[in-house]
Structure 1
């Protein structure tokens, strides 16, 4: 996907990218070797060539921070295949909408690490863990998880960020994560199948009020299901988004 993309070039719209592909220019190298590209002026072609070469160098260097800057944020989903093996699937729980962070879950797609307020949810620990990853994958993280973590810990996120909520919307999958999981036939553990975000707030309050670990364990399991299900969701959704974009099924 990445090396077939031209959307990051100045003044190249989604329709403009389609026009480039329609000329048989499917790869960065095709573009660089073309003396002329219809729809792109002779004066702009060298500018685009320079930007393509700039991004290509950053890809060779595996410089995810520069790649994240060069690619429009709403197109970071195109970077998934390139960075999925170095991605962190992330989700938080809070004490209320935009309240304090109570649980932070991170997964590399296989193993999970859980951070709980009052136990191990500390800025230096979280920061150290985040530095291991070149990409973050969330659901609604651009509107919720990352801004809340930024406010709570004053953290910056230089990583590539793929927000699956907006990737899903491109193929008409709307609503919350659990609703979309059901539509995509992604299952949850039976114990937390009917637990909602509102329930997660109540579980935290019960844990703090009673000290009964069953409430905390259920909350952690709920969060863990969120992060573990982000990977299969990405694997199902992103190829469909690319197919729609690449073959002009929906612009």
Structure 2
């Protein structure tokens, strides 16, 4: 599903109205004819479509991200698949005011970059990574990863953001990232570690164990790389239940 199939970013259009539009054959912006809504709302939708096309031509999806509910932002992915950054951080604790970020991994365009505290993990590098990304994808990053980075590196993260935890809940997938991976059969090549293990590995690295850092980086990278198939599986399920089911009924 693409942004051009969506009408709920328009003020006054909720899921019920969007469904009615789809049921009446208006499954894409190109097919909108205003038939099943009032004149005022039809004018608003037409303005949204005209402005939306301009935004997409510029590669700017921020307007749609701001207007879409958090659990519906998965709809942005197809438009910017190759420019999507899957991000995960490791830290020395849960409080950004008293703890540090140790590693940050970004998986984008089939490649993974890991920044390490004391080496190349800086505010400048983080800004560069975000600037190259049209869409940011995390798991529980709205409450943890993004605020942590903003506090520790004085950042203002404005990249459109999909927190995978919310669309997962929409398809009945609860729990942490690794539990959901197991439920869906998304495998990892390394033994399962926890956030507590990540802190331990960093402390061991600080005491001179370079192998501990290698394992921490591998763990951090796996989180970002596994988010991509997770998003695609969840997006497929939502596409079928939210969009295809309505279109086939209509």
Q: Distance in 1 between matches of 2:93 and 2:78?
A: 34
Range with bigger deviation, 8-17 or 174-183 = 8-17
Superposed displacement of residue 70, structure 1: 4.4
Query: 1:81: which partner in 2?
Result: 78
Once the two structures are overlaid, the 10-residue window that deviates more, 212-221 or 62-71, is: 62-71
TM-score, length of structure 1 as denominator length: 0.90
Name 1:18's counterpart in structure 2: 19
CA contact (8 A) 1:92 1:104 kept: yes
* Structure number with higher relative contact order (C-alpha < 8 Å, ≥ 6 residues apart): 2
Provide, for residues 7-34 of structure 1, a one-character-per-residue CA deviation record: whole Å limited to 9, x for no partner.
1111211122111111221111211xx2
Match of 1:54 in 2: 51
Computed over aligned residues only, the root mean square deviation of the Cα atoms, in angstroms, reads 1.6
User: Is 1:153 aligned with 2:153?
Assistant: yes
Query: How many matched pairs?
Result: 241
d(CA) in 2 for partners of 1:44, 1:76: 22
- Report the equivalent of 1:140: 140
Verify the 8 A CA contact 1:207 1:213 in the aligned structure 2.
yes
**1: distance between equivalents of 2:232 and 2:168?**
12
1:35 CA displacement: 4.4
SS of 1:159's equivalent? coil
Unpaired segments of 5 or more residues in structure 1? Answer: none
What CA deviation, in whole Å up to 9, does each residue of 1:94-131 have, x standing for no partner?
10113321110111152111111111111112212221
Gaps of 5+ in 2: none
What SS class does the counterpart of residue 205 from structure 2 fall into?
helix
